[in-house]
Amino acid sequence: MNTQLEESRILRNVYGKFATGVSVVSFLDKDKRPFGVTVNSFTSVSLDPPIALWCVDKNSELCESLINKENYVFNFLAEDQTNLAVRLAEKNKHNLNDANCDIQEYGPIIKNSLGWVACSKREVIESGDHFIIFGNVNAFSSYNNEKKPLIFWSGNFQNLE
């Protein structure tokens, strides 16, 4: 019989068999500095009205700031943006000052991404060890249609081949 910790690891590995796209949720801090965090939990919820959601771990050092953030941007990463995804997934490495961004009213938009969706906070729900953050979609754009997406699968960043 497996311990609860072993069961959690097995379940995490099973969840990892579901390939996801990779996005950076970008935002401005209270001093208007650009920050971002890598997430693979983006989900489109509704087209009418347009709503998207994502999840943040309660243990993230950014959790408190993110669940209280009114505006943020999903930036969908391309396969050549793996280094950015890795850096922004690390603890205390969320500053976007050195990234190629345009600062817009909803937050930083990462240049050379596949596209972006700007949201304002709609609702935050506590669920298990995460918060689910729902956002009203306010603006969006798609670029770089020739590029392929960055994928997260089986615990690693992957390229679509």
- pLDDT tens digits along 36-83: 999 989 999 999 999 999 999 999 999 999 999 999 999 999 999 999
pLDDT of residue 158: 78
Query: Does residue 93 lie in a domain region?
Result: yes
* Any domain includes 86: yes
Tokens representing 49 are: 């009205």
Give dist(CA 97, CA 36) in Å, integer. Answer: 10
Domain at 52, CATH number: 2.30.110.10
Total of domains in the chain: 1
pLDDT of amino acid 157? 80
One-character DSSP codes across the chain: ---HHHHHHHHHHHHTTS-EE-EEEEEE-TTS-EEEEEES--EEEEETTEEEEEEEETTSTTHHHHHT-SEEEEEEPBGGGHHHHHHHHSTT--B-TTS-EEEETTEEEETTSSEEEEEEEEEEEEETTEEEEEEEEEEEEE--TTSPBEEEETTEEEE--
Residue 96 placed within a domain: yes
Instruction: Give CA separation, 150 vs 33, 82, 107, 122, in Å.
Output: 26, 7, 21, 27
pLDDT at 43: 92
Q: Residues 5-16: what's their mean pLDDT? A: 85
Q: Is residue 131, in this structure, part of any structural domain at all?
A: yes
Asked whether residue 85 is assigned to any structural domain, the reply reads: yes
**Res 2 pLDDT > 90:** no
Mean pLDDT (whole number) for 120-127: 96
* In the chain, % of residues over pLDDT 70: 99
Task: Using pLDDT thresholds of 50, 70 and 90, give the confidence band for residue 144.
Answer: low
* 98: containing domain: 20-147
Q: What is the mean pLDDT of the chain?
A: 91
- Predicted TM-score of the model (pTM): 0.90
Asked if residue 11 belongs to a domain, the reply is no
